Amino acid sequence: MSNRRRTPLKIVKNEVHSCTPILRLNILHNLPFFNNLSHQEVTEINKIFNDIGYVSEETIYHMADRSTRLCVIASGSVKLIRQNADGKEVLMDILKQGEFFGSLDPFGDTYYQETAIALQPSCILKIDSEEFRTILQKYPVVSLQVLDTTAKRLLEAQERIKQLSAHSVENRIAYTLLKLGQKLGEQNENGILIQIPLSRYDIAGMAGTTPETASRIISKFKNADILKTGRKWTIIKNIEQLEKMVKII
């Protein structure tokens, strides 16, 4: 069988990706937390942001750096990881266009609790957290939106704590894949395609296990015709089966 190279995704060059001013404004306008503001107001806010481009695998900030900035993804995607003392990596979250990360805290003497790394060529809008705080004070609508997002993330984090405390690795891998599909997947004729370069190492870091165990379980899922994977993509073929495994309460 000569089936080399059947990647179902567009090949993307790993080039620094910067925003055009118009794109920037457009993106800011469509952010969930700014889209209740007037064009005038967003234009004003736009001036305070800087944009910086990153290539794949490039670090946006390191854990333990002084945390002074809030970041917004204008394009691309970002992973947030924490490392423990022996260097084991825990993948906290994967964020996509329009989501924010970094520091919300305006009080000095705080440090990033995680490392942020671009998963794809990405354009990141940055703002000083103190300046962002002024925006929050000025526009209560924005505050509430940021609060809602944060509250939602807290609920998700708590769900993950429950998973880690009370479910098997197989369960957690299924849950991880489901969440990834919901958040980053797009439906196509074969199923739900997740077009993000996720290594076994990343999956393991999200599910709280080792790459070997993740690989074993994913093989099992592939044999059961639930999944199909390549180095830089994953397709969920049978989402019902995954849901059944996770047993949503």
Using CB distances below 5 to 8 A depending on partner kind, what does residue 229 bind out of a copy of itself, DNA, none?
DNA
Q: Which listed range, 39-47, 153-161, 191-199, 226-234, lies at the site for a copy of itself (CB under 8 A)?
A: 153-161
Supply φ then ψ for residue 30, to 5 degrees: -90, 0
Residue 197 in 3-state DSSP? Answer: coil
Q: Quick check: 70 and 129 in contact, CB under 8 A?
A: yes
Distance CA 150, CA 146 (A): 6
Closer to a copy of itself by Cβ: residue 22 or 107: 107
Rounded to 5°, the CA angle 48-100-103 comes to: 75
Sheet strand arrangement including 233-236: 185-188, 191-194, 233-236, 227-230
Does 237 bind DNA (CB under 7 A)? Our answer is: no
Q: How far is the CB of 222 from DNA (least distance, A)?
A: 7
Residue 190 in 3-state DSSP? Answer: coil
Does 64 bind a copy of itself (CB under 8 A)? Our answer is: yes
Distance CA 89, CA 202 (A): 8
Residue 179 in 3-state DSSP? Answer: helix
Q: How far is the CB of 229 from DNA (least distance, A)?
A: 6
Q: How many residues in the shown chain lie near a copy of itself by CB under 8 A?
A: 41
Q: Quick check: 200 and 246 in contact, CB under 8 A?
A: no
Q: How far is the CB of 230 from DNA (least distance, A)?
A: 4
Applying CB under 7 A, which of residues 46, 210, 238, 241 lies at the interface with DNA?
Answer: 210
Place of tokens 């825990």: 90
Does 83 bind DNA (CB under 7 A)? Our answer is: no
Q: How far is the CB of 215 from DNA (least distance, A)?
A: 3
Closer to DNA by Cβ: residue 41 or 170: 170
Q: Quick check: 80 and 153 in contact, CB under 8 A?
A: no
Residues between 141 and 200 with contacts to DNA, criterion CB under 7 A: 168-170, 198-200
Which residues would be at the binding site for DNA (CB under 7 A)? 4-5, 7, 11, 168-170, 198-201, 208-213, 215-216, 218-219, 222, 229-232
Which residues would be at the binding site for a copy of itself (CB under 8 A)? 64, 82-86, 88, 90, 92, 104-105, 113-114, 133, 136-137, 140, 143-144, 146-148, 150-151, 153-155, 157-162, 164-167, 205, 208, 247, 249
